[in-house]
Amino acid sequence: MAKKKMENVAEETKIKEARELLIAQEEKKMKAFIDDCLPVFKKHGLTFEPFLPVMPQLRIVPYIDKEK
């Protein structure tokens, strides 16, 4: 019984680590995409805005220069 519980904990840990790695990879891809597109979007008066704080979806919105 205890052995099975330890196997379940080990499996859950593997799943959690794999999920975290996948999320990190997706965030890296999204950042690279934004870095590639942002100069073009700014030129046309647009930018990205996070759709939800924890989700990688973005929506395109008018660019407002915060430095002005």
What is the predicted pLDDT for the residue at 64?
64
Type of residue at 17:
E
Let me know: does 47 contact 61? Beta carbons within 8 Å. Answer: yes
Q: Beta-carbon neighbour count of residue 56 at 10 Å?
A: 14
Report which of residues 53 and 2 the model is more confident about: 2
What is the predicted pLDDT for the residue at 38?
78
- Per residue in 10-63, pLDDT tens? 888 999 899 888 888 888 888 888 788 778 877 877 766 655 455 555 555 666
* Statement: the pTM of the whole predicted model exceeds 0.75: no
Query: What's the token pair of residue 44?
Result: 């046309």
Q: Where are the domains of the chain?
A: 2-62
Residue 24: how many CA atoms within 13 Å on its side-chain side?
6
